[in-house]
Structure 1
């Protein structure tokens, strides 16, 4: 099929690759209908796909990579100066300060043991001066003063990723047979965050023994995630049979996965896919890996309820209505504050049924 390719990840598992150019560059109805059908297929069968034709300039992604390298190359004591309290989803997170599995209510062998480090930026409340938004959710960003270009490089990529995420919700509306612009009312002051991740450990800290977790099993929280990542092994996706598979993006492609809120909207017609990051270990040494996840989570006050068009006659909704605030805060309380999330039963059940191959 024109514009659609399948990338072989393992013999029985493929991550679809879709050219969304007809929505980015402008295309006719036939081309957009084809893209929407491909996205629907990917969301129903995998929940992870990669996109080409997204229009993000190479110099912008190169700037993002440079910013990531610059910040994570700073001494730990400098990076720690940009830490924020767990309730504020901004700034620096050092290694072993989070446990993503707790966002599902799943206790791992050791709490707060994911070895990645991260730096978060997001949309501040002052972006929407006509609204009264909670400062904890729409907090101001902290910018490292040691790096002159960091804010501009990250800001340039943030704007592009935001454009891509909003383009994808246009495609989603078409794919689900909803009116054009359906998701706009849920995202006009969206709680969006860019999380830049660094998977590395200082020399001589890995002995090859013990439970080493890059990023624990989890689903993303919001509507859709746009992921830039190095083409280095580590990311794994759980398929519908409960088997984990390695995923690596094509050159210049962006990975996309759905969040819990979309699974709720569609009554799991579309999947919020469980994923994790294994340590990329080569010859006994952890190979450095970088990624940047743009989380498009929706308005904090939006109520997410199952779409009637995603319910067959007599089919019950699998989820009760919930606000974005209620859902995201419960997830963050798990991953960042160590409070297991008690309202992720369906996701936790999928994880319990999975092949529990160890992370190391």
Structure 2
């Protein structure tokens, strides 16, 4: 364990994923990843196999896209329904919720502090349920190709992490991979415009409110601005910073992985606020960019996570139904 754990950022382990990828210490890495998911639901990975030049390049494309005029970005509009989660969403359009589905409660939720962010979502080409929505090619040449290339690069990292998780559960390495053959994932580009620090600290606006993710795992690339906070698992309602760690990606478990693991793994609530210890001259937060890559599946409890003493807490469920319900509540 000590050979793969490099330290902690806050309460989250920083692990060297390299020994899993090169085969020199696969079981130790797998055990450490699973342990961090059990304890916190989050882990930092370095030497993760996602080339830094590709990460930097995707952040560059995100900045180019979000720097376009609003009327140009809206030529790739997110549909009114959250169940078709593709295209561009302007600031304030999406309001993240946490298990809120009642129409009246959703209205009250949206009338409170808005999420001041803009986003662009894409996935694999040819998805019959959520086809991509792109800008006309001549408005930002190369953007579509860059998004698709990065999507498939993240896919390879995702599969490696799934193999490590399976090994952590003492299952065949392909156990989770065989449930994820359709690549029904999404790549999100997120931009948080500069806003007054006071507005964030007094919660007149939010960047992303407290929520858990929907699917199995999320890979997150964040810039150096910071602001991500993870709920203290020993003190619900209190949050701790998850600061940027150079050369790392953050991986967190979603609701489906918690359900799939019969609650052995945590799907921890998190949010984005003003970076801690922020010093500004004009009272404004710096703008922030991040790139989450999410994934979904269909689940039943993992072998070994239930017994007569610890029975299954969940029935098998279709991920599509649950994910669409959560997405619809955000719009």
TM-score, length-normalised on structure 1? 0.81
Say if 1:235 and 1:277, in contact at 8 Å, map to a contact too. yes
Q: Any idea what SS the aligned residue of 2:92 has?
A: coil
Under a length normalisation based on structure 2, what TM-score does the superposition of the two structures give?
A: 0.88
Identify the residue that residue 45 of structure 1 maps to in structure 2: 39
Where does residue 159 of structure 2 map in the other structure? 166
Shift of 1:192: 0.6
Residue 18 (structure 2) aligns with: 21
Residue 317 of structure 1: how far off its partner (Å): 2.4
How many corresponding residue pairs?
Answer: 316
Q: Is the 8 A contact 1:15 1:46 kept in 2?
A: yes
- Kindly provide the CA deviation profile for residues 199-236 of structure 1, in whole angstroms up to 9, marking residues without a partner as x: 11479996986621101111111111111101222111
Match of 2:212 in 1: 219
Q: Distance in 2 between matches of 1:207 and 1:192?
A: 30
- Encode CA deviations 1:8-33: one digit per residue, 9 max, x unaligned: 42xxxx21011111232x214xx001
Shift of 1:123: 1.6
| Aligned pairs (5 A) from 1:144-183 | 145=137, 146-183=139-176
Which runs of structure 1 show a deviation greater than 4 angstroms over 4 or more consecutive aligned residues? Answer: 102-107, 201-210
The answer to whether residue 73 in structure 2 is matched with residue 73 in structure 1 is no
Tell me how large the CA RMSD over aligned residues is: 2.4
| Counterparts of 1:171 and 1:207, CA distance in 2 | 38
Question: 1:270-285 counterparts in 2 under 5 A?
Answer: 270-280=265-275, 282-283=279-280, 284-285=283-284
From the superposition, tell whether residues 325 and 204 of structure 1 become closer, same or farther in structure 2 (CA, over 3 Å). closer
- Distance 1:257-1:78 versus aligned 2 partners, 3 A rule: same
CA contact (8 A) 2:87 2:132 kept: no
- Partners of 2:9 and 2:243 within 8 A in 1: no
Q: Contact conserved, 1:191 with 1:297, CA < 8 A, in 2?
A: yes
Matches within 5 A, 1:91-170: 91-105=87-101, 108=109, 110=111, 113-125=114-126, 135-137=128-130, 139-143=131-135, 145=137, 146-170=139-163
C-alpha separation in 1, matches of 2:196 and 2:242: 26
Residue 6 (structure 2) aligns with: 5
Matched residue SS, 1:330: helix
> Which whole-Å CA distance do the structure 2 matches of 1:259 and 1:207 have between them?
26
Aligned to 1:321: 316
The yes-or-no answer on 1:257 pairing with 2:249 is no
SS at match of 2:14: strand
Residue number among 54, 58, 70 corresponding to 2:52 in the alignment: 58
1:6: Cα distance to partner? Answer: 2.1
1:265-304 maps to which residues of 2 (within 5 A)? Answer: 265-280=260-275, 282-283=279-280, 284-298=283-297, 302=298, 304=299
SS in 1 for 2:328: helix
1:266, distance to aligned residue in structure 2 (A): 0.7
Distance in 2 of aligned mates of 1:21 and 1:144: 40
- Is this contact kept in 1: 2:197–2:285, CA < 8 A? no
Q: 2:178 aligns with which of 185, 189, 196?
A: 185
Q: Give the SS at the match of 2:295.
A: strand
Residues 195 and 19 (structure 1), Cα distance of their counterparts in 2 relative to 1, 3 Å cut: same
Residue 232 of structure 1: aligned partner: 225
